[in-house]
Structure 1
Amino acid sequence: MGRQQRLLHNLKKGEQMKEQEFGRLLSYAEVFTKRSKPKLISLLLFSLLSGCFIFAPHLLCFSPPSALSPLGSVKASDVHSHTLLSMPSTVSDEGMWCDRTGFRTDICFMKGDIRTHSPSSSILVYTGSQDRSDGFTNHASHEKIKPYTRKWEASVMDTITELNLERKDAKLGDGRTCDVHHDVPAVVFSTGGYTGNVYHEFNDGIIPLYITSQHFAKRVVFVISEYHKWWEMKYGDVVSQLSDYPLIDFSRDKRTHCFKEAIVGLRIHDELRVDPSLMQDNKTIIDFRNLLDRAYRPRINRLVREEELRLSTKAAKERKGPATGRLQRPKLVLLSRNGSRGIENEDMMMKMAKLIGFQVEVVRPESRTEMAKIYKVLNSSNVLVGVHGAAMTHFLFMRPGSVFVQIIPLGTDWPAETYYGEPAKKLGLDYIGYKILPRESSLYQKYGKDDPVLQDPSSINQKGWQFTKKIYLDDQQVKLELRRFKKVLLDAYAKAIMS
């Protein structure tokens, strides 16, 4: 599916978005997904811009902020990847500049004497005089930003605190003194919005945080709006791989924190994706997964030692397999769902997998399940099986070369492939999408066999997100045709023993 369809799907997901807003954003999508023939005015504009670089670079040409440039080389044409544009070269090293060209997120850069003021939800930068002798005023004096990566989705952005960014003349200081001095930059972002859903925690938060901050090599302070203690507890291991400094709860910490540089907002590339062409040193999603491995490895090693202590010497040797001379069976992990989109004949499917030759383990992730424990199970497995849903985000914990089988209920083909299937391939997984037949869905018992709900799900989805959610996401169970699904497991088994 194309980028325009992805935008349309995301637009539908904003349930509270008004009709005129939808139309405006649709037009936006069309503008950037269609290629038009060059027109005379475009050629004239191109010539003018080209001339500026040759004859008057001091007027219109651009260069990156010196300390923020490690964000990497980018493609200025790709608005959906939210490229890094640059500060005008006519400004001093101090100031404030915002990039609002991205469809998914805004991001602002600040440099100078930066001070936080949480009571007014403000971040201020004090610089030299804003007026230059050549008549130019190069930086905005006031900006507003919601540092969350779902800019297009009005309903959720309404829940995000808006921050005030102000540029002030240092000579007219307001007497606000620094309580805490930091000699490293700040990255400011929100953990509000859809945080609480594991897909959004990674897609909207953790991966964009990696994209935005990894180049600082842990010499960066994270300032969090809508801070949640449970989020820090859940992702502290990962965050510690990106920063050596304590997190700052922007809303509750009333002290004035002072920085020399700050990035407000996060970069985002695509669904669960790191685009190497937009990253310093061409880093990829595999580099992000390696970071996860470093984050969870110490805890996993402790868990392994604890397990060995609970086992007798004989049991431990048998568990390790090679010590007994027997080959270990490939391990299949089933991410089991409770409620909607569960597998009604799950037990029979697991028995079939064992007969094929798999060692089977069932995982039922909950909001409070320790991430390191889930990582430990999936990192040591050969095959992951699960029904489309947020829990499929855990494919990020699989080793490249492993097999990922996503069971795709009716009406979920596009999101299943876009949000999990394609990103899994980027990670190097052997992805298998199992699209169920109408008779494998519980909807088969509720609707006539010729009903569009069964025969033409796309026509139902086109009616709006509320129809998709009500029918296909919240009111559908799966009953696998075991003979049909057996072919998928046999294929996965063959790939597992060869890897």
Structure 2
Amino acid sequence: MTGDVRTDPSSSSIIVYGTKFNGSGSGDGDGVIQREKIRPYTRKLFNSIMVTIDELELVVKVCNSAVNHRCDVRHDSPGLFFSTGGYTGNLFHEFADSIVPLYMTSRRYNGKVVFVILEYHHWWFTFYDEILAHLSDYDVIDFRRDNRTHCFPGAVVGLRAHDDLQIDPAWTDDNTTIRDFRDFLDRAYAPRIKEILSQEPKHFEPEKESKKPKLVIMARNDSRKILNQGDLIKMAQEIGFRVSVLKPNRPTGLARMYKILNSTDALVGVHGAALTHFLFLRPGSAFIQIVPIGIDWAAETYFEQPAIKMGMKYIGYYIFANESTLIDEYDEKDPVFTDTLSVNRKGWNYTQQIYLDPQNVRLNLWRFRAPLTRAYYYAVRKLNGSSKVDS
């Protein structure tokens, strides 16, 4: 919307005024010549969640230019309206539905854009503070609670979104890619990481240890846990890794997570929202996703494809039936194992009830040693500056 744009929270409206539109200087009795409704959230095909998103009405009005319309707060920069409702609270969706689309939509303004938020969550803006501060130079506006009339020279309502955690350069004006987003994260978190480092005590590793590649195991707190994680740690150390176990939680803060993973050579984790942290790995790092039974499509779509486009050395490890705790409930010949597509066709809720919520993993360490060793030698070659690191 371009022109004299004003908010009206009482009617959930955004109005653009002008003296002439489409060659016409008249409209209905209120001067309205166009109305359109929009729910500014990116999951347009997910009807069950879209109906929960607050709706905005976009209104075009013609008026006499001499009429003095109320304006409580006048902004010199355009407004960008979007919702932080929907699947907010799930890290994957926060990045896929909001953060990456917000980056794509707002970057062309170079900070000169005002974020106007529907379904405002204070914790969300605290959690993503470093990112948001690098996309907008201004305080955010809570559309529902701020009853003042805000006036803008233009507005964008909704966010541009491509595939999950991906940016298609063909759909951008300047061939932007997901690697550009990763570079942006580096710039956004650099000041905070510098501050964290200045506050932490210095740790000195023996030279022998410091030359070992660093492996982070992403531990889960609920379902899809690695039940023999202790044995996995020992095996990884025997192979030659320095091993850390990371349990993500909101109080940790994204800046600290970024600091840890930005200095990591390899990441291992079972499919789930926490693996969204792979975005914090440096391009060229090794990323092993452990894929439970029945989640092949989600694992490939949500993490494998974005990781490859981001320049990771991606390795998928698909567990066998005897590595899943589902074997304690179902016979190995049950369709739960033999025909996962038929189970998934019953809907996402069914997939969640069968494959996501109750399933844990007992890794066959003899099997898993091969991909882990592959990741180790890849990381060693990267550390040594070898150009032959693809195998």
TM-score normalized with structure 2 length: 0.93
From 275, 280, 285, give the equivalent of 2:173.
280
Equivalent residue for 1:113? 4
Equivalent residue for 2:234? 351
Q: Is the 8 A contact 1:383 1:402 kept in 2?
A: yes
Equivalent residue for 2:102? 209
Q: List runs of 5+ in structure 2 lacking aligned partners.
A: 383-391
From 74, 78, 81, give the equivalent of 1:188.
81
| Cα displacement (A) at 1:268 | 0.3
Distance 1:132 1:213 in 2: 31
Q: Is the 8 A contact 2:26 2:62 kept in 1?
A: no
Equivalent residue for 2:14? 123
Distance 1:218 1:277 in 2: 24
Equivalent residue for 2:270? 387
Q: Does 1:290 align with 2:183?
A: yes
Q: Is the 8 A contact 2:2 2:155 kept in 1?
A: yes
Q: Does 1:477 align with 2:360?
A: yes
Q: Is the 8 A contact 1:443 1:476 kept in 2?
A: yes
From 395, 406, 414, give the equivalent of 2:289.
406
CA 1:493/1:264 → structure 2, altered by over 3 Å: closer, same or farther?
same
| Cα displacement (A) at 1:303 | 1.3
CA 1:430/1:325 → structure 2, altered by over 3 Å: closer, same or farther?
closer
From 161, 173, 181, give the equivalent of 1:268.
161
* Residues matched between the structures, number: 379
Distance 2:59 2:362 in 1: 57
CA 1:441/1:326 → structure 2, altered by over 3 Å: closer, same or farther?
closer
RMSD: 2.0
**Structure whose CA Rg is larger:** 1
Paired AA for residue 214 in structure 1: R
Equivalent residue for 1:339? 222
TM-score normalized with structure 1 length: 0.73
Cα deviation per residue 1:130-158 (whole Å; 9 max; x = unaligned)? 46369999x96111110000111111111
Q: Does 1:245 align with 2:128?
A: no
From 300, 303, 313, give the equivalent of 1:417.
300
Q: Hey, which bits of structure 1, 4+ residues long, moved more than 6 A?
A: 133-137
Higher helix share: 1
Paired AA for residue 328 in structure 2: Q
Helix, strand or coil at the partner of 2:111: coil
Q: List runs of 5+ in structure 1 lacking aligned partners.
A: 1-109
Equivalent residue for 1:449? 332
Distance 2:21 2:210 in 1: 72
Paired AA for residue 167 in structure 2: V
Helix, strand or coil at the partner of 2:368: helix
CA 1:401/1:122 → structure 2, altered by over 3 Å: closer, same or farther?
same
CA 1:351/1:173 → structure 2, altered by over 3 Å: closer, same or farther?
farther
Distance 1:442 1:487 in 2: 22
Equivalent residue for 2:254? 371
Helix, strand or coil at the partner of 1:124: strand
Cα deviation per residue 1:116-142 (whole Å; 9 max; x = unaligned)? 1112111111011346369999x9611
Q: Is the 8 A contact 1:441 1:479 kept in 2?
A: yes
Q: Is the 8 A contact 2:33 2:61 kept in 1?
A: no
| Cα displacement (A) at 1:366 | 1.5
Paired AA for residue 473 in structure 1: L
| Cα displacement (A) at 1:203 | 0.3
Distance 2:289 2:24 in 1: 63
Distance 1:226 1:265 in 2: 13
| Cα displacement (A) at 1:185 | 1.1
Distance 1:218 1:327 in 2: 39
Distance 2:279 2:119 in 1: 26
| Cα displacement (A) at 1:280 | 2.6
Equivalent residue for 2:113? 220
Q: Is the 8 A contact 1:215 1:280 kept in 2?
A: no
- Which residues in structure 2 correspond to 1:131-150 (within 5 Å)? 132=23, 141-150=34-43
Distance 1:339 1:234 in 2: 22
Helix, strand or coil at the partner of 1:280: coil
Q: Does 1:160 align with 2:50?
A: no
Helix, strand or coil at the partner of 1:171: coil
Q: Is the 8 A contact 2:182 2:280 kept in 1?
A: yes
| Cα displacement (A) at 1:209 | 0.5
Q: Is the 8 A contact 1:453 1:460 kept in 2?
A: yes
